[in-house]
Amino acid sequence: MEGPHVRYATALDGTRIAYAVIGSGPPLFLLDSFTNAGLSARPGRDASFYETLAANRSLVLFDWRGSGQSGPASEFTIASLASDIESVAHGAGLATFDLCAFVAPCHVAIEYAAAHPDRVRKLILCRPAPRGHSALTTPAAQPIAHLVATDWEHFTDLYALRLVGWTEAGRELAEQVRRHWTAASFAACMEAFEAFDTSASAASITSETLVLTFDEDGVFGDPSSSRQEAQRLAAIIPNSHLHILRGNAEVLRSRLVEPVDRFLRFTEESTTDPPEGPVPESLPEGAVVILFTDIVESTALTERLGDAAFRTRARDLDASLRTLVSESGGTPVEGTLLGDGLLAVFTSARQAIDCALRCNAAAEAASLQLHLGLHAGDVLREGNNVYGGAVNIAARIMSLTAPGQVLVSDTVRSLARTSAGVSFADQGEHALKGIADPVRVFEVRGRSNES
């Protein structure tokens, strides 16, 4: 991506904020993490994230006050940082826009969206950082925090080492932090963030919101912290969708670009390219059979095939699976935004099992493999999504599967034992993460007339 044409806006306190607009289409305001300056040249594996979004969006990037090409700053309160967003929006002539934020700036985005409901159309919070912590206060950072004031270069090297390892990406991160922050500004910004509490603002947000993170991920070197914060925010923000990707953020941008892009396309108020499958109003409520699928080793495939090639294959498979769900009498759930997978609900256990087997065959034909899990229970419908303990159990059962294996709960087996035309192999009881009681699962061994 070529270097953008830099412009300047003036914040309320007179701080000059450097920003740029790239791409074309509906505006998307991007709030990068404090360690990833918005106008800098991108590390190689991040580039496709920005290029993909800019292909369909007017992407608004900027350098936080006190960093990069923006002017020095005397304060880093949440109000002053939110005013930077408003100054850039005014300078770029944006009346309304979608707002996407990463890590600590998620809380700045929350504050801004709550104060400016007329401006923020859709809100995306990626890997939100926990309240009361910063890059200098977590257990992993405390032993080296004193180096900020005494040996800035050494601190940034150790900071990157603890976050991502001393790889090429780690060296790029250390260099980027040094290039875009002074030791004093970085320390002041981190200290200010520790005091941020946007709980009240989150509760008043009216924009439709996607909260996105990973199930084995933390920020600031704090394992699971982002997942816990994402769950907290999704419970507070009224019109929100929580999406937890499997794995961690080792290949952060390539893993996030698909759900972010799909969310933005799906939630367009007027679109010439509506999502495939039944309209959201067709989602059932009450007792249903839930099918979860996920592409096996999507992270490794992304690394091996490259972002663009993998996304093309994943999108083609997703379209095929949604067609199969509809043909089998089920309904794909659009609001869940699984990224590399699919959630669908059925009113018949026989139809759900038949669909799972057909999905497996479609994946094999595409030289891909799936994890597939099914459970049955009551769900609650809210907009484009379904919720409830049964949904969580179905996801956990899917996580138990080997590639190409279809596992079902005892509930589904009981419903389909005489009607599905398949055999079941008892796989025993399993303790599922976050589920109080063990769940007995069975493997679907194929249609009876095929065995």
Strands 240-245 and 208-214: parallel
The CATH number of domain 280-450 is 2.40.160.40? no
Report CA 315 to chain centroid distance, whole Å.
17
Q: Is 222 helix (H, G, I), strand (E, B) or coil?
A: strand
Alpha helices in 116-241 (DSSP H): 147-150, 152-164, 168-180, 183-193, 199-203, 225-236
pLDDT at 114: 95
> Which residue is associated with the tokens 């663009």?
308
pLDDT at 269: 44
Q: Strands, E, within 38-142: which ranges?
A: 58-62, 97-102, 120-126
Q: Please tell me the chain's helix, strand, coil percentages from 3-state DSSP, rounded to the nearest 5.
A: 40, 25, 35
**Residues 128/213, Cβ–Cβ less than 8 Å:** yes
pLDDT at 448: 47
CA-based torsion, 281, 282, 287, 293: positive or negative: negative
Strands 331-332 and 58-62: unpaired
* Backbone torsions φ then ψ of 166, nearest 5 degrees: -85, 65
pLDDT at 375: 94
> What whole-number distance in Å separates Cα of residue 254 and Cα of residue 30?
16
> What whole-number distance in Å separates Cα of residue 438 and Cα of residue 431?
4
> What whole-number distance in Å separates Cα of residue 335 and Cα of residue 244?
13
pLDDT at 251: 44
Q: What is the mean pLDDT of each run of 10 residues along the chain (451 residues)?
A: 78 91 88 68 56 80 89 87 93 92 90 94 88 66 79 84 69 81 85 83 91 65 66 85 64 55 54 35 65 85 75 81 86 60 87 93 90 89 71 89 93 83 91 83 72 37
- Assign residue 224 a region: left if phi > 0, alpha if psi is -120 to 50, beta otherwise? left
Q: Which CATH superfamily, name and number, covers 7-266? A: Alpha/Beta hydrolase fold, catalytic domain (3.40.50.1820)
Domain coordinates of the chain in residue numbers?
Answer: 7-266, 280-450
* Neighbour count for residue 199 (Cβ, 10 Å): 12
Alpha helices in 328-379 (DSSP H): 349-365
Residue 436 per-residue DSSP state: S
Question: How many residues in the chain?
Answer: 451
> What whole-number distance in Å separates Cα of residue 109 and Cα of residue 39?
18
**Residues 11/80, Cβ–Cβ less than 8 Å:** yes
pLDDT at 15: 92
